[in-house]
Amino acid sequence: MDNRGGILSAVQVHPLADVQTVNIGQGTRIWQFCVVFEGAIIGQNCNICAHVLIESDVVLGNNVTVKSGVQLWDGLRVEDDVFIGPNVTFTNDPYPRSKVYSSAFLPTMIAKGASIGGGAVILPGVTIGAGSMVGAGAVVSKSVPPHTIVVGNPARVVGNTRDQG
């Protein structure tokens, strides 16, 4: 049963998606032109929209929405009930170089119930706190406390999600 009391449906993978992992929870939908690497873990009742790439060392919780044009790189952990807007950019290497590969990537954590607006950039090694909101186009270079609203470049605190209706 899902968190709304309904019966979960089978996993739905569009025939034009390239999904190599078997770690996908019931009720999850993966749309066309997605690439999901072997080893990735995707929870129940997720919606992975078109044109999303998910690397091997990525974990998504339950009820996660990933809108189109997002790449989820190794080291990313996303807890339950997270919204990732269209064209959000995650990075995992603070000093990238062509043909030079890190042996370990900085972990990035998106905590339960957080929302990230379209076009935001999330730098490696940060935590987006539970229930927080990142405004569209923000550049997050430092961790965001729980229930905080951040906007701008660099992202700065402008409010608290507990104050919102």
CATH number at residue 81: 2.160.10.10
**pLDDT above 70: residue 50:** yes
The pair of structure tokens assigned to 131 is 């229930």
- Residue-wise pLDDT for 79-119, tens only, equals 999 999 999 999 999 988 999 988 888 999 999 999 999 99
- Mean pLDDT within 20-40: 98
* pLDDT grade for 56, boundaries at 50, 70 and 90: very high
The boundaries of the domain holding residue 81 are 12-163
21-30, 34-43, 71-80, 103-112: the lowest-pLDDT one: 103-112
Domain count, the chain: 1
The verdict on residue 1 lying in a domain is no
Cis peptide upstream of residue 154 (ω within 30 degrees of 0): yes
Strand order in the sheet with 41-42: 23-24, 41-42, 59-60, 76-78, 108-110, 127-128
Q: Helix, strand, coil: what percent of the chain each, to 5?
A: 0, 35, 65
Percentage of the chain beyond pLDDT 70 is 95
The verdict on residue 6 lying in a domain is no
- Mean pLDDT within 130-135: 98
Which of the pair, 9 or 115, is modelled with greater confidence?
A: 115
- Mean pLDDT within 4-25: 87
Query: Which pLDDT value is given to residue 5?
Result: 52
The verdict on residue 139 lying in a domain is yes
The verdict on residue 4 lying in a domain is no
Which of the pair, 106 or 3, is modelled with greater confidence?
A: 106
First-residue to last-residue Cα distance in the chain: 29
Whether the CB-CB separation of 34 and 55 falls below 8 Å is answered with no
pTM metric for this prediction: 0.93
* pLDDT grade for 1, boundaries at 50, 70 and 90: very low
The verdict on residue 7 lying in a domain is no
How far is the C-alpha of 23 from the C-alpha of 99, rounded, in Å? 30
